Amino acid sequence: MSHRRSARPGPVTLTGVTVLSAALATAAAALTAAPASADPADRTAARDAAVARVAKLYEQAERATEEFNAAGERTEKLRGEVSALQDRTARAQERVNRMRGRLGALAAAQYRAGGIDPSITLMLTERPETYLAKAAVLDRLSSSRLGELRALRAARRGLEQQRLETARKLADLEAGRKTVERHKEEVQRKLADARRLLNALPAGDRESYDRISRGDGHGAGAPDLSGVPAPSGRAAAAVAAIRAAIGSPYAWGSTGPSSFDCSGLTQWAYGRAGVALPRTSQAQRGAGRQVPLAQARPGDLVIYRSDASHVAMYVGNGRVVHAPYPGARVRYDPVGMMPVSSVTRP
């Protein structure tokens, strides 16, 4: 994400990404090709443009990261559903096998006694349900055997339904896996573009940017949070946890305990307080009661941008703690560092 205030971004399209990548390549070439005697104002403008584009790339990468997180969460849920379905299917198959075994034993006993009742033959067919509609057959069945046949038919139908549902879930799981991979590739591509552009900056500018990213400058100082009570014990515990994470590196897709992305940090901090938050910033927006920004209290989740692609935790006195963007570390920043979408109190 950007550490600079920016206008609300519009939706990212594939065309926009292509155009942006071309513009970044042009800017990088201009930076590396500029002669030493170039106008300092021009070099400053080129540097500022490059840094702004890096910030925009990080912002787009963060959106893709949250999409990656959401896809991964859906895939994990599907994996659990598939596992449960496979267990139920196996149990249903065992039930059918037991029922057929009982009927087979009955048929064997009758054979040894001199013949097999036609109703038993019926019950052992692969598709007994096709015979149930025949009144002449039903007339030959005793009520107990008719009940066994109907139970077997219901069990076989249930087994088939389980198999069909499992097959559908497996197809969904495979589609989800491909979605996760696609978002992963998108994040990696944007981060690589940003790093190439940063590497094209003059050494002094790059070092200055890196110092800011590490928290050595903007946002680094710990604010005075004395006299700012949290609204609950669990919120106070979450604030204590997130403050203990100050200085940890940003890592996309990470939920701690040694590195974090933005939603991974807030999820981890509330997890330390015994509260289970959803994985993504979009889902965390709905994980509690909405409150006005003017009434924010320590522990509240501050959601940024219209698409809710970034989240931080309010810690008091107009400051938040968050995992900013790749290359940066968990740090304090002003609550108004970018457009606020909403504030949620878990």
The answer to whether 262 is a known catalytic residue is yes
Number of neighbouring beta carbons within 10 Å of residue 32: 11
CA 61 to chain centre: 14
In whole angstroms, give the CA distance from residue 302 to residue 311. Answer: 6
Task: From the candidates 3, 183, 218, 262, give the one annotated as an active-site residue.
Answer: 262
146-179: b (≥16 Cβ within 10 Å) or e: bebbeebbebbeebeebeeebeebeeebeebeeb
CA contacts within 13 A on the Cβ side of 187: 21
The answer to whether 183 is a known catalytic residue is no
The answer to whether 310 is a known catalytic residue is yes
For the CA atoms of 32, 37, 40, 44, the dihedral, rounded to the nearest 10 degrees, stands at: 0
Name the residue among 125, 140, 250 with its Cα closest to residue 194: 250
Q: How much helix, strand and coil, in percent to the nearest 5, is found in the chain?
A: 60, 10, 30
In whole angstroms, give the CA distance from residue 39 to residue 42. Answer: 5
> Quick one: CA dihedral 171, 172, 176, 182, positive or negative?
positive
Q: Which two tokens stand for residue 48?
A: 């500022």
- The DSSP result for 66-112, as a single string, is HHHHHHHHHHHHHHHHHHHHHHHHHHHHHHHHHHHHHHHHHHHHHHH
Cα-only R_g, the chain: 31
Amino acid at 26: T
Task: From the candidates 3, 183, 218, 322, give the one annotated as an active-site residue.
Answer: 322
Task: From the candidates 3, 183, 218, 310, give the one annotated as an active-site residue.
Answer: 310
Catalytic residues: 262, 310, 322
